[in-house]
Amino acid sequence: MSSHLFQPIRLRGLTLDNRIMVSPMCQYSAVDGCATDWHLMHLGQFAVSGAGLVMVEMTDVEPRGRITPYCLGLYSDANEQALKRVVDFCKRHGHARIGIQLAHAGRKASTLPPWEGRRLLRPEEGGWEPVAPSAVASGAGAAVPRALTLDEIGQIRDAFVSATQRAARIGFDAIELHCAHGYLLHQFLSPLSNHRTDRYGGSLENRMRFPLEVFAAMRAAWPEDKPLGVRVSATDWAEGGWSLPDTLAFARALKALGCDWIDVSSGGLVKNQVIETYPGYQVPFAEAVRQATGLTTIAIGMITEPRHAEAIVAHGQADMVALARGMLYDPRWAWHAAAELGATVYYPNQYLRCRPWVRHDTFAEREAARAEEFHLPAVFKQPE
């Protein structure tokens, strides 16, 4: 029986070779929001990894939306030019499709990178004032952000649209809107962080309003044949916070606006969250979204074993899986998963010699099959 994990999947006009996504992973290695050689190396290795989709890290739509001064941005011509260099490199040498996650950190902005302790970076140290739906800190010792005005909310929506247009010019295949992990759009969704009394706060409908406005504006600016998905935190893991029923309502509203997938994560909003983690601990959330809405879902969270990933897709718990730390530890995870599951996966010509040998299968036969599957020229001909 063929592997479910290695079956193609179609999202609008985009067809992925398989159901494996490299998750967006912050690298804290940009300069003034511009991608560097680190990104060229980091993303380039995943472009040839055999994964169907590689998602560029959380990329911020304005300077004050960065988590740290070293976060990637897409708010200037310089940002666009630097990122296009990386994407062009990945597409020239790799076979994976390339997406980008667009975001705004909100009250989680202006900190040092994790290896420097994530402490708040004050304006006199090169930091800036964080903004949020309400002047509510995420916990003890965290910054108290400034509440956004209505005019600023509109400006941030426009910044998402501008970044979407830049992503289209760069040549990205897909976009994921970040509404999770305690960043700005998640802050609007949760009653723990949104205490507004205007049309953007209070009821669930009002709290969903701004994220939905952003999504609709991005969808209108993004090419019709290219997919646009959303990452959500299914629960805040905290009393009185955002919950799975809220997530299902949000997903249904997104579906009505043309959302192409929901990437289901959890947590990240408050410091007092209580999470019991284990391999696949977030998969039931993805399954719930898939069953309730019919949307394509992506499962994430401590998925590291090929047969576990295969089971998630085969049993209908999610349509795809995404790996982050697992890919950092093993950038060739998709190759190794394909070998274990008896599937075919893309290898660049330069690495063909490392492919596992298949019994009763000649090199020429394997390469002819590879050429047919990936629509490549047949380098090695079958004997007459």
Ramachandran angles phi, psi of 275, nearest 5°: -125, 130
pLDDT at 314: 98
Among 158, 150, 151, 159, which Cα is nearest to 65's? 159
Helix axes 77-93, 150-170, angle to 10 degrees: 40
pTM for the model stands at 0.93
Ramachandran region of residue 30, left (φ > 0), alpha (ψ -120 to 50) or beta? beta
187 within 8 A of 194, measured Cβ to Cβ: yes
How many Å apart are CA 189 and CA 270, to the nearest integer? 13
135 within 8 A of 149, measured Cβ to Cβ: no
Taking only the tens place, the pLDDT of each residue in 61-105 is 999 999 999 999 999 999 999 999 999 999 999 999 999 999 999
Residue 346, pLDDT > 80, answer: yes
- Average pLDDT for residues 44-66, to the nearest whole number? 98
128 within 8 A of 145, measured Cβ to Cβ: no
The encoded tokens of residue 227 equal 């997919």
As a whole-number percent, the residues of the chain with pLDDT over 70 amount to 92
Residue 171: strand pairing partners: none
164 within 8 A of 75, measured Cβ to Cβ: no
The encoded tokens of residue 241 equal 């916070």
Taking only the tens place, the pLDDT of each residue in 122-145 is 999 999 999 999 999 988 878 899
Residue-averaged pLDDT of the chain:
94
pLDDT at 142: 84
331 band by pLDDT with thresholds 50, 70 and 90: very high
pLDDT at 139: 85
Where is pLDDT greater, at 362 or 360? 362
CA distances for 182 relative to 60, 128, 138, 324, 353, angstroms: 14, 18, 9, 18, 45
Among 123, 121, 8, 58, which Cα is nearest to 324's? 58
Residue 375, pLDDT > 70, answer: no
CA distances for 172 relative to 163, 164, 275, 296, angstroms: 12, 10, 34, 20
Beta strand pairing call for 262-265 and 9-11: unpaired
DSSP 275: -
Annotated active-site residue in 183, 200, 346, 347? 183
- Average pLDDT for residues 151-172, to the nearest whole number? 98
- Average pLDDT for residues 46-75, to the nearest whole number? 98
CA distances for 135 relative to 129, 194, 195, angstroms: 11, 9, 8
Report the 10 Å Cβ neighbour count for 123: 9
Taking only the tens place, the pLDDT of each residue in 285-302 is 999 999 999 999 999 999
Per DSSP, the three-state class of 35 is coil
Q: Is 183 a catalytic residue?
A: yes
Per DSSP, the three-state class of 265 is strand
Among 18, 176, 19, 172, which Cα is nearest to 98's? 172
Residue 382: exposed, middle, or buried by beta-carbon count in 10 A (0-12, 13-18, 19+)? exposed
pLDDT at 380: 41
pLDDT at 376: 64
CA distances for 301 relative to 52, 130, 285, 305, angstroms: 18, 28, 11, 12
Helix axes 150-170, 204-221, angle to 10 degrees: 30
Domains parsed from the chain with CATH numbers: 9-346 (3.20.20.70), 350-384 (no CATH)
